[in-house]
């Protein structure tokens, strides 16, 4: 299976996006030097690329590979979101080895709880129709693909290869602020392992270091707090046990946006947005 792999600093460029509802329609065949992401919310979509066929249903996604012809192999009746983007070839690749990738997800898969994906996809579509908002669309695209990486990686976390790893996953799912673990040293002490063995457990079970995992979980929690509470950014940094300026750097690195930009993106001022679009 191929995975789309990209790094912390990969410059992803949003091109266009939208939502489609098709009935008894075969997708056109074409070859593009860009990716197209399909995310199905209802019905049946039939797509093929490079000799491989996919029957996509509710909650399924497919990312096409640039430079390879793709299209429909049967009539589809479905509702789906679609999104085109480009990336520098030196910063991201389709490959089978994901060991060195900061972010990765399978070329095609299923997401059971896809609310977060859907919200970001809709936001991208809203910003796409506005003028001079390309930088926001690019940042939202980065957030979308990182969220997809997180959601698909989560499946592996639900069934760790080593039973000794399950209590660690339980801790992160049950403790919203991770008060007892602030770095690899305190994590190792809390779980009763040496730092070296803790790193081994994380690499074996989910393919990333404990520090990468901790930062990812904290940034996910920060996004939830920004979207769903009126906590100040300094307050969020504090409850996550970060220095304010260090938190700002980590958040921008994780999402491509500042916390303020992210909050405005997920809770937009629709009156001003609509007025700008009308003008």
Which tens digits make up the pLDDT trace of 14-65?
A: 999 999 999 999 999 999 999 999 999 999 999 999 889 999 998 999 999 9
> Could you give the number of structural domains in the chain?
2
Mean model confidence pLDDT for the chain = 86
Separation between Cα atoms, residue 43 and residue 169, nearest integer Å: 34
* pLDDT computed for residue 37 by the predictor: 97
For residue 277, pLDDT over 50 is answered with no
If you average pLDDT over residues 155-161, what whole number do you get? Answer: 49
In the beta sheet, which residues pair with residue 78? 22, 43
| pLDDT grade for 273, boundaries at 50, 70 and 90 | very low
Query: For residue range 129-146, what is the model confidence (pLDDT) as tens digits?
Result: 877 788 889 999 999 999
Give the SS3 label for residue 104.
strand
Separation between Cα atoms, residue 169 and residue 192, nearest integer Å: 15
| pLDDT grade for 249, boundaries at 50, 70 and 90 | very high
* pLDDT computed for residue 237 by the predictor: 94
User: Do 152 and 170 belong together in one domain?
Assistant: no
* pLDDT computed for residue 22 by the predictor: 93
Which run of H or E residues covers position 238? helix 233-239
If you average pLDDT over residues 80-106, what whole number do you get? Answer: 87
Is residue 275 assigned to a domain?
Answer: no
Least confident of 15-24, 116-125, 220-229, 262-271: 262-271
In the beta sheet, which residues pair with residue 104? 5
For residue 160, pLDDT over 80 is answered with no
User: Do 103 and 235 belong together in one domain?
Assistant: no
Is residue 193 assigned to a domain?
Answer: yes
| pLDDT grade for 269, boundaries at 50, 70 and 90 | low
How many C-alpha atoms does 214 have within 13 Å on its Cβ side?
Answer: 21
Cβ atoms 75, 51 nearer than 8 A? no
Is residue 271 assigned to a domain?
Answer: no
Output the domain CATH number for residue 198. Answer: 1.10.10.60
Largest CA distance in the chain: 61
At which of 122, 156, 190 does a domain end?
156
* pLDDT computed for residue 94 by the predictor: 93
Share of the chain above pLDDT 70, in %: 91
Cβ atoms 97, 16 nearer than 8 A? no
Which run of H or E residues covers position 94? strand 92-95
Is residue 186 assigned to a domain?
Answer: yes
Query: CB neighbours of 84 closer than 8 A, spacing ≥ 6?
Result: 14, 15, 16, 17, 32, 34, 35, 36, 37
Is residue 99 assigned to a domain?
Answer: yes
Which run of H or E residues covers position 179? none
User: Do 34 and 86 belong together in one domain?
Assistant: yes
Which run of H or E residues covers position 55? strand 52-56
User: Do 106 and 241 belong together in one domain?
Assistant: no
If you average pLDDT over residues 109-118, what whole number do you get? Answer: 83
* Radius of gyration of the chain, Cα coordinates, nearest whole angstrom: 20
* pLDDT computed for residue 216 by the predictor: 85
At which of 126, 156, 186 does a domain end?
156
Query: CB neighbours of 25 closer than 8 A, spacing ≥ 6?
Result: 72, 75, 76, 77
Q: Which domain holds residue 66?
A: 3-156
Q: Whole-structure pTM over 0.85, yes or no? A: no
User: Do 119 and 8 belong together in one domain?
Assistant: yes
At which of 156, 189, 219 does a domain end?
156
CB atoms near residue 17 (< 10 Å): 24
Is residue 74 assigned to a domain?
Answer: yes
For residue 111, pLDDT over 50 is answered with yes
Query: For residue range 203-226, what is the model confidence (pLDDT) as tens digits?
Result: 888 778 899 889 988 888 888 888
In the beta sheet, which residues pair with residue 256? none
| pLDDT grade for 268, boundaries at 50, 70 and 90 | low
User: Do 128 and 177 belong together in one domain?
Assistant: no
**C-alpha distances out from residue 93 to 89, 140, 236, 262, Å:** 7, 20, 34, 27
Cβ atoms 258, 248 nearer than 8 A? yes
């Amino acid at each position: 299976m191929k995975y789309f792999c990209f790094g912390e600093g990969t410059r992803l460029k949003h091109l266009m996006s939208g939502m489609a509802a098709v009935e008894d329609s075969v997708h056109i065949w074409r070859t593009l030097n860009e990716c197209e992401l399909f995310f199905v919310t209802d019905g049946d979509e039939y797509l093929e690329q490079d000799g491989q066929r996919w029957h996509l249903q509710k909650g399924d996604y497919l990312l096409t590979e640039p430079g390879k012809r793709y299209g429909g192999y049967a009539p589809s009746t479905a509702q789906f979101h679609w999104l085109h983007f480009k990336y520098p070839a030196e910063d991201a690749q389709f490959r089978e080895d994901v060991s060195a990738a900061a972010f990765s997800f399978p070329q095609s898969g299923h997401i059971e709880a896809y609310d977060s994906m859907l919200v970001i996809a809709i936001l991208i579509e809203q910003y796409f129709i506005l003028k001079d908002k390309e930088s926001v669309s690019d940042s939202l695209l980065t957030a979308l693909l990182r969220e997809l990486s997180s959601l698909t990686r989560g499946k592996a976390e639900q069934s760790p290869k080593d039973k000794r790893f399950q209590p660690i996953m339980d801790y992160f799912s049950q403790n919203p602020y991770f008060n007892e673990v602030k770095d690899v040293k305190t994590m190792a002490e809390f779980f009763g392992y040496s730092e070296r063995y803790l790193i081994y457990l994380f690499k074996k079970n989910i393919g990333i270091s404990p520090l990468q995992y901790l930062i990812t979980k904290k940034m996910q929690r920060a996004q939830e707090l920004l979207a769903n509470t009126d906590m100040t950014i300094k307050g969020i940094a504090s409850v996550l046990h970060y220095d304010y300026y260090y938190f700002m750097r980590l958040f921008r690195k994780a999402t491509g946006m500042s916390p303020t930009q992210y909050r405005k993106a997920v809770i937009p001022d629709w009156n001003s947005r609509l007025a700008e679009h009308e003008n």
